[in-house]
Amino acid sequence: MTPILQQFLSEARDFLQSISEKLLRLEKAPGDAELMSDLFRSVHTLKGNSGLFDFPEMTRVLHAAEDLMSVVREGQLGFSQDLADRLLEAMDFVALLLDELQSGAGGGAAHVQSSMRLAESLRALIVVVHGAADGPLPRAHTSGPAQEPVTLPLEAVPDGLLAAWREAAKAAAPLQWIIYTPAIDCFFKGEDPFHQARQTPGIVWQRISTRESWPALAELDPYQCVLRFDLVTDAARATLDEHFRYVPEQVAIVPLTQQSLDPALATAASVDGGPGPAASAPGSSTSSMVREILAAQAIALGLPDAVAWLPGRLRAIASTLAACSRSSGREDALPSLEAALALALTSNRAEPLHAWMSALGHAFAPPIAAPGTSSAEPSNPSIAAPNPSDPASGRGGEEIPATAVLKVEQGKIDRLMSLIGEMVVAKNGLPFLAARAESVYGVRELSREIKTQYAVINRIAEEMQDAIMQVRMMPVSGVFQRFPRLVRDISRKLGKEVLLTLEGEDTEADKNIIEALADPLIHIVRNSLDHGIETPELRRAAGKPAEGRLVIRASQDSGRVLIDISDDGKGIDPAVVKRKAYEKGIIDEAVLERISDQEAVNLVFAAGFSTAETVSDLSGRGVGMDVVRNAVERVNGSVALTSEKGKGTRLRLSLPLSMAVTNVMVIESNKQIFGVPMDLVLETVRIPRSAIRSIKNRQTIVLRNRILPLRSLNELLAEDLPQVSNELDEMATLVVQIHGESLGIVVDDFREVVDIILKPMGGILNAVPGYSGSALLGDGSVLMVLNPKELVTWQ
């Protein structure tokens, strides 16, 4: 499912909800013009939205509803119960389609007939008002040729074929005769009816004719479609409905039964564009259907009379009965039916219609539906069959539509987040309790039980945390979407041509990470445009296309989000960077000599570094890449820069997916405990004191044939104490990675690894370098979490 469809589904549900609310409110206050306009707008918008997709059934019904609302809004038709009923039914139908789309059974072709019926029932109300007001119809009413009795032009078919069809008619799956009369203005809607006809599956025979005789060529308007297509196919009815789903009102489909193929009976063959393939010649199948319909009407008539919607129900039943009489060829019964309806309406009782059915109903459905049975049924309370003429019944108020998307305030999620954080901390208290039970109270049994219980709570808490994380996930597109505009504006200002490509916009990460990403990214993009990509003239001179390329790509890689920003600009010249860094005093002469090109390029991250000759409003103030690096590192991310002179620059930001729970290793030093973020820890080793060598003032050790510089934590924290070794005279050493280099930090001892909720230091403490923050441990003590990067560079 595409995101736009998902959005449509969720919006459409909101609209449906508000439409039915407004309808219900209008029932109480039918004169409220503002509410009415509101309702019209909702229906109008929903229709427009549905038009973006391939849902002709939905659009058709909504279009009819919109037309109806527009008439009501203009005051030509009063708001009535009946109108509300029909609109609600139409909205239920739309909800049904939405449900199907949601579940992926996105056909809709099966609903062509229902959508036609609903659209007609809505339009019927418009016709009523226009008939009364003697005004013109707002648009071509759907009473196409499909409604009129159709004579199959069998004389046009070769005799041999006809004989074969008669044979086929005896088989279970009859051939279908399709009469397709395109709308006169169909060319202006971009339709090609001939193409449509040719694409019909399973064509056996075909003919093109015209609805009227051709005028002289001079008077011919080629853009008024007057064609008629006749075709016979062996495709199934459902396939044909699907094929003609955009133009069902222009198509009549007649099954080629023996009756319809027999010229003597053919004249009687009538086609109903309405519900189902029911209407063919009056045959045995018809009368059995009529019987069913009559039985259903009898049940409906037997329902209690004392309801507000009785008139609507009576009218519906009467029109169903009228349709039954017509299809059974008993038009003579119609006047008496109307009289019965009028009587029923005035007396507000179903009885007159019931009497009419008992008297006449059996006439057009002879054998089984005897008046006795049909009138006996309603008295039987156990029968509660839904009215089959109303396929959408039961979707009214009782059924709660399944909503797939919830809109939740951000604050609530944040609260859940901090609650689960506390839960994790509280949970971590249980192992301490277990240890106390054993060591202090000496109850080993209880200690074990607490540990088992802890394992269960731990699992649930972890799953819960994971679930909340999922909720907080946001696609990076939220940050990315501002770049097209930004790039356009800046490149205009600089007179550069830049083609921006965004990739992986649906990559997800925690909301906080995404938010933290916004500013650094803007900075990087500005830098790229300002320093990286050259002007068109320079690019052409360098043999590159005049238009520079800037690619921002997001991807996910084992628990981290990677954001690559690459351009094909002039790249970073290590020589220039070295010289600038030297001039600004960032590096000294010795460094200048031995630094590699790659290291030189990374000098751009040093504080106060700027290569731009002049200060512009875009960059060049020296608050550049170091700000980016700090911002990214604040959320435990890292930045890597690679650049090739003349070819371009590539920056890779690597960020954690989420930052709520931090995995830290607890270490001990000078009788205090500290936390060190696990993602910095490469390994832990115990090194014999004798292996430590001093080079100048610095202690080092050779670890796996590499020299590893050592610092003691006490020294880093400015405590004048030697680190404590264990009984074998080994020093506990934490090997950490800082800016791509390994460093051994000597501590007193290692403890366990724990998950903590890291709280940044607030207030005055915020300015204290060397710490990332603090966290509460399970036993209630506070753990200070070190920031080794700051600790080492700050020294």
Partner 1 sequence: MAISYKRNVAVFADTVGVDEAEGLLAWLHEHPKPKLDLGACTHIHAAPLQVLMAARLPVAKWPKDSPLTAWLNSALT
- Residue 198 or 412: which CB sits closer to partner 1? 198
Give bridge partners of residue 687 from the DSSP assignment: 731
- Residue 220 or 307: which CB sits closer to partner 1? 220
**Residue 628 and residue 608: Cα distance in Å, rounded?**
12
**Residue 402 and residue 463: Cα distance in Å, rounded?**
25
Q: Which of the 8 DSSP states describes residue 315?
A: H
Residue 175 C-beta: closest distance to partner 1, Å: 16
**Residue 193 and residue 199: Cα distance in Å, rounded?**
10
Residue type, 181: T
**Residue 508 and residue 561: Cα distance in Å, rounded?**
8
3-state class percentages of the chain: helix first, strand second, coil last, to nearest 5 = 50, 20, 30
Greatest Cα pair distance in the chain: 119
Whether 62 contacts 94, CB under 8 Å: yes
Q: What is the CA radius of gyration of the chain?
A: 40
* Three-class SS state of 399: coil
Residue 649 C-beta: closest distance to partner 1, Å: 50
Residue 566 C-beta: closest distance to partner 1, Å: 44
Whether 194 contacts 227, CB under 8 Å: yes
Contact residues toward partner 1 (CB under 8 A) are 156, 182, 187, 192-195, 197-198, 203, 206-210, 214-215, 217-218, 220, 222-223, 225-227
**DSSP letter string over 318-342?**
HHHHHHHHHHTT-GGGHHHHHHHHH
* Three-class SS state of 784: strand
- Residue 207 or 492: which CB sits closer to partner 1? 207
Residue 188 C-beta: closest distance to partner 1, Å: 10
Residue 543 C-beta: closest distance to partner 1, Å: 42
What is the token pair recorded at 721? 């104490």
- Residue 186 or 758: which CB sits closer to partner 1? 186
Residue 207 C-beta: closest distance to partner 1, Å: 4
What is the token pair recorded at 291? 């019987």
Residue type, 741: E
- Residue 207 or 482: which CB sits closer to partner 1? 207
**Residue 564 and residue 557: Cα distance in Å, rounded?**
12
- Residue 204 or 303: which CB sits closer to partner 1? 204
Q: State the angle between helix axes of 310-327 and 284-302 in degrees (0 to 180), rounded to the nearest 10.
A: 160
- Residue 153 or 371: which CB sits closer to partner 1? 153
Segments in 29-154 forming alpha helices (H)? 33-50, 56-73, 81-102, 112-133
What is the token pair recorded at 149? 């009795």
* Residues written for the chain: 795
- Residue 172 or 217: which CB sits closer to partner 1? 217
Residue 366 C-beta: closest distance to partner 1, Å: 42
- Residue 182 or 648: which CB sits closer to partner 1? 182
**Residue 758 and residue 426: Cα distance in Å, rounded?**
14
- Residue 54 or 185: which CB sits closer to partner 1? 185
Q: State the angle between helix axes of 310-327 and 351-360 in degrees (0 to 180), rounded to the nearest 10.
A: 10
Give bridge partners of residue 510 from the DSSP assignment: 473
**Residue 258 and residue 511: Cα distance in Å, rounded?**
68
- Residue 162 or 586: which CB sits closer to partner 1? 162
What is the token pair recorded at 101? 């789309």
Residue 214 C-beta: closest distance to partner 1, Å: 4
Residue 161 C-beta: closest distance to partner 1, Å: 12
Residue 224 C-beta: closest distance to partner 1, Å: 8
Residue 213 C-beta: closest distance to partner 1, Å: 10
Residue 217 C-beta: closest distance to partner 1, Å: 6
- Residue 230 or 567: which CB sits closer to partner 1? 230
- Residue 187 or 605: which CB sits closer to partner 1? 187
Give bridge partners of residue 710 from the DSSP assignment: 699, 744
Q: Which of the 8 DSSP states describes residue 759?
A: B
**Residue 295 and residue 300: Cα distance in Å, rounded?**
9
What is the token pair recorded at 121? 């029932």
Residue 461 burial by CB count (10 A; 0-12/13-18/19+): exposed, middle or buried?
Answer: middle
Whether 717 contacts 708, CB under 8 Å: no
Residue 40 C-beta: closest distance to partner 1, Å: 35
Residue 215 C-beta: closest distance to partner 1, Å: 7
**Residue 735 and residue 678: Cα distance in Å, rounded?**
11
Residue 246 C-beta: closest distance to partner 1, Å: 15
Phi then psi for 101, rounded to 5 degrees?
-65, -40
- Residue 231 or 340: which CB sits closer to partner 1? 231
- Residue 209 or 501: which CB sits closer to partner 1? 209
Segments in 623-673 forming alpha helices (H)? 625-634
Residue 156 C-beta: closest distance to partner 1, Å: 8
Q: Which of the 8 DSSP states describes residue 530?
A: I
- Residue 184 or 471: which CB sits closer to partner 1? 184
- Residue 194 or 246: which CB sits closer to partner 1? 194
CA dist list (Å): 763 to 414, 491, 522: 22, 41, 28
**Residue 120 and residue 231: Cα distance in Å, rounded?**
26
Extended strands (E) in 452-529: 473-475, 498-503, 508-510
**Residue 445 and residue 35: Cα distance in Å, rounded?**
70
Residue 269 C-beta: closest distance to partner 1, Å: 22
**Residue 95 and residue 118: Cα distance in Å, rounded?**
14
- Residue 215 or 329: which CB sits closer to partner 1? 215
Residues 259, 265, 271: CA angle, nearest 5 degrees: 75
Residue 151 C-beta: closest distance to partner 1, Å: 18
